[in-house]
A and B are shown apart, each in its own frame.
Chain A
Amino acid sequence: MIHRESGLLKTSYQADMALYPLPIARWSVAVILVLAFLVLPLVLSEYYLSIINLVSVAIVGALGLNILVGYTGQVSIGHGAFMSVGAYTAANLAVRLGAPFWVSLPLGGLMAAAVGAVVGIPSLRIKGLYLAIATLAGQLIIEWTINHVTWISGGVQASIEVPRPSLFGIQISSQRGMYFFLLAFVVLAIVGVMNLMRTRVGRAFVAIRDQDIAAEIIGINIFRYKLLAFAISSFYAGVTGVLYTYYLGIANYEQYQITTSIDYLAMIIIGGLGSVQGAVFGAIFVTLLPIVIRTSMETFGGLLFSSGALLNIIPNLRLIVFGLLIIVFLIVEPEGLNRLWRNIRSYFRVWPFAY
């Protein structure tokens, strides 16, 4: 009984509908925000901040994919392509028109949303694995288009360098600066998804996932909402692509291929489908895993193998461990890290009186 859940009386509709009605929840969120915005950037070195930056970008992408796959039940393997659409749109705007990031970012997202809606059109007729492969087709077609249409890709090299984003005249180029930049968007993204799911649009998505025929019968226009799901999810993907472009300083479609799409799928499944926390956990886990495996193998593996053999073993072992972890998670805890977290929380909810 670390906190009190009962006896809290709400006196307005606004209080009733608040995102975090319990005081304990509000306190936790406040602490996390203070930690993230004030404490961590002062304490951690640039290397760790750069890892967190990579994680932040992944979180935004995972949240987007979660909207489509977790909440609406439409499996999509095209996430990488939407990211590249957003990236190239923003890069072109920034380079050709000199647009600042607060113009190119939403426009990149909107372009990706439009493309995503087009790719989602087959969902009118197709479902399940068939739809997943149709989105894979979308991924390949978009890749080819960017590769071959030099007007979009900026030349044979298909890479566009963008200037660093600047806010009130200050250029953001260090890892620390990037950290705040990305973190702001992560917060916006999380709040966006949480609020989306509380609206009727969000409820329609979940209805489509659970029983789409029944949803149609009660009057939800499933085609329109499926397209909307694709569009919103692709908007997030486009924003992820733009953020990544600004982080690296360059837009290059080779970073957004099938393996990326599959990585994001892995993130939301390991994290737990259909929940914001799940997407966040999954993104953190999958991004950090290769780094952790490599550093722990370097520290401990040196005891077992020679360094030459180790260099060959580590990367292959990383793949094996990655795959094994996915399989183990699916067998042991199909609802992912989110369920693990909830188990921990509910344990502490009634502690020490667990019965």
Chain B
Amino acid sequence: MRATLAFLTGAALALGSIAPATAAEIVIGAQCDRTGPTQTVGTNLCPGFNDYIKLINSKGGVMGHTIRADEVDNEYKVPPAVESYERYKKEGAVTVSVYGTPQVYALTQKLTEDRIPGTSPGFGKAAAADGTKYPYIFPIAATYWSQAAAAVKYAKDQMGGLKGKKIAYIFYDNPAGREPLPVLEELQKLEGFEMRTFAVPPPGVEMGAQVLDIAQRYRADFVISHLFGRSPSVAIKELKRVGFPLKKVIGFVWGAAEADVEAAGGYGVAEGYSALEFAGVGEDYPVLKEIKEMYKKEGKPEPKEMKESVYYNRGVFLAAIHVEAIRNALKAKPDGKITGADTKAGFEKIKNFTLGGLVPPIEITPTDHEGGGLVQVWQVSGGKWVKRTDWFRAYPEVVAKVIKEAK
């Protein structure tokens, strides 16, 4: 009984001590998934986010204001995401980095009502690329629709044309996985290829039958793979096991990391596998060098998450674009009292944002919150990820049509 009383008192004390934002401090709400199904992403992406914020603060912050990124683990579930959002509101956050597609859906109305911008790079609601319909949601990177178009274009380039070819679309059987279907169907009509869909039910750890079907019965010419969590690596292994050539496989942005290759059994096993990226891969970028310098100055080793450069770099990019939006907002209101609406306007002023080549030139306007939807293709070759194409976007008219038709 005493233990219960002690626990309750401790809880009350702890709850009461949530720190409010101090003066001249600007708060970003950062959600993450460190214990849920996408923890292989979150445990590398969020350190990247935090490291960039640390870098900015070490240089004196943004126009004199320190930035505080308040990271909360939402376990890829919705109630913790909603609770953490309320917490961010209480702390006066001016922008939120949402993590997870169901979380974006759940928070859309709230973000819009409370006028705080939320980002969803490479996931979330593809229709939110339309800034007029969703003024406070910012994909800021290729949505699933743009990724689908880019994947089809890559397949077309690899096969020298699409007419009469068979494409297998293997995907995670949940809303995020099904989202590209309208775009794929439009492109199918446009380009005249055959397509069959293969759903992999969550958690996606066993897909032998689907892979067998693709390789042996349907005999696809090309595979477009939209999987995340553990399933990309399982897919790589399974496809290899049934003898399907991996160089005819292109994965979307969340099946594109070192971790997926390592989980599949190493670079030797995954040779030939290609994937889309919306941020650069590898450590050869100026901003990463700066972060390494910062750690060296503190006498600490560089964080091990940097090795998982695909996700880490995305975290860095995400933080940087938030900071850029804040900077734009502060330029408009130098007294430092910016609100969510100001940061939203700040996002929409972002032009030619490349972060030293880490990302393609991003331009966000009040009508286009996606910023261009540019991606690159990287391929596993000779023991590491190798860049295959430059930044490109494909079939923008088709994507725009689907966005317009979306409810």
Contacts and interface: CB of A to CB of B under 8 A. Distances in A.
A50 B182 CA distance: 37
A254 interface: yes
Given A47-B87, A54-B83, A296 B10 contact: yes
Contacts of B90: 45-47
B106 A47 contact: no
How many B residues touch the partner, as a band? 35 or more
Prevailing SS type, chain B contact patch: helix
Contacts of A46: 86, 89-90
Given A157-B105, A255-B77, A259-B77, A291 B35 contact: no
Nearest to B16: A295
Nearest to A297: B14
7 contacts: A47-B86, A147-B174, A156-B175, A254-B78, A292-B11, A292-B15, A308-B47
Given A250-B108, A308-B47, A54 B82 contact: yes
B75 A315 contact: yes
A159 B43 contact: no
A238 B201 CA distance: 25
A344 interface: yes
Contacts of B106: 248, 250, 252, 255
A319 B47 CA distance: 20
B102 A316 contact: no
A248 B82 contact: yes
Contacts of A45: 90
A319 B76 CA distance: 14
A315 B175 CA distance: 26
Among A45, A173, A292, A344, the one with the most B-chain Cβ atoms within 10 Å of its Cβ is A292
Interface string B50-92: 1000000000000000000001110101111011001101100
Nearest to B70: A298
Given A46-B89, A51-B86, A54-B79, A158 B11 contact: no
B181 A311 contact: no
Contacts of A319: 35
Given A173-B113, A296-B10, A343 B175 contact: no
A252 B174 CA distance: 11
A288 interface: yes
A312 B79 contact: no
A211 interface: no
Among B18, B110, B173, B175, the one with the most A-chain Cβ atoms within 10 Å of its Cβ is B175
Interface of A: 45-47, 50-51, 54, 144, 147, 155-159, 161, 164, 173, 175, 248-250, 252, 254-255, 259, 287-288, 290-292, 294-296, 299-300, 308, 311-312, 314-316, 318-319, 340, 343-344
A318 B34 CA distance: 11
A223 to B, nearest CB: 33
B349 interface: no
Among A314, A315, A343, the one with the most B-chain Cβ atoms within 10 Å of its Cβ is A315
Contact of B175 (A54, A161, A254, A299): A254
A231 to B, nearest CB: 26
B4 interface: yes
A294 B73 CA distance: 9
B133 to A, nearest CB: 11
Given A147-B174, A157-B178, 5 more contacts: A156-B181, A159-B102, A159-B175, A249-B110, A294-B72
Contacts of A158: 174-175, 178
A51 B11 CA distance: 14
Contacts of A312: 34, 43
Nearest to B202: A257
B388 to A, nearest CB: 29
B1 interface: yes
Contacts of B189: none
Contacts of B11: 288, 292, 296
Among A164, A295, A300, the one with the most B-chain Cβ atoms within 10 Å of its Cβ is A295
A242 to B, nearest CB: 15
A158 B107 CA distance: 15
Nearest to B88: A47
B22 interface: no
B141 interface: no
A295 B192 CA distance: 56
B46 interface: yes
B382 interface: no
Contacts of A252: 78, 102, 105-106, 175
A340 B73 contact: no
B129 to A, nearest CB: 14
B217 interface: no
Nearest to B87: A47
A156 B1 contact: no
Contacts of A343: 1
Contacts of B107: 248
A161 B110 CA distance: 12
Contacts of A299: 14, 17
Nearest to B305: A308
B73 A248 contact: no
B82 A340 contact: no
B303 interface: yes
A315 B35 contact: yes
Given A47-B87, A319-B35, A254 B109 contact: no
B297 interface: no
A295 B14 contact: yes
Interface in B192-225: 201
Q: What are the 8 tightest A-B residue pairs by CB atom distance, in nearest-first order?
A: A249-B109, A296-B14, A315-B73, A47-B90, A50-B86, A254-B102, A315-B35, A315-B34
Contact of B105 (A47, A175, A250): A250
Contact of B14 (A164, A287, A292): A292
A250 B87 contact: no
Contacts of A144: 201
A54 B79 CA distance: 7
A311 B210 CA distance: 38
A125 B1 CA distance: 42
B356 to A, nearest CB: 24
Contacts of A164: 109
B5 to A, nearest CB: 10
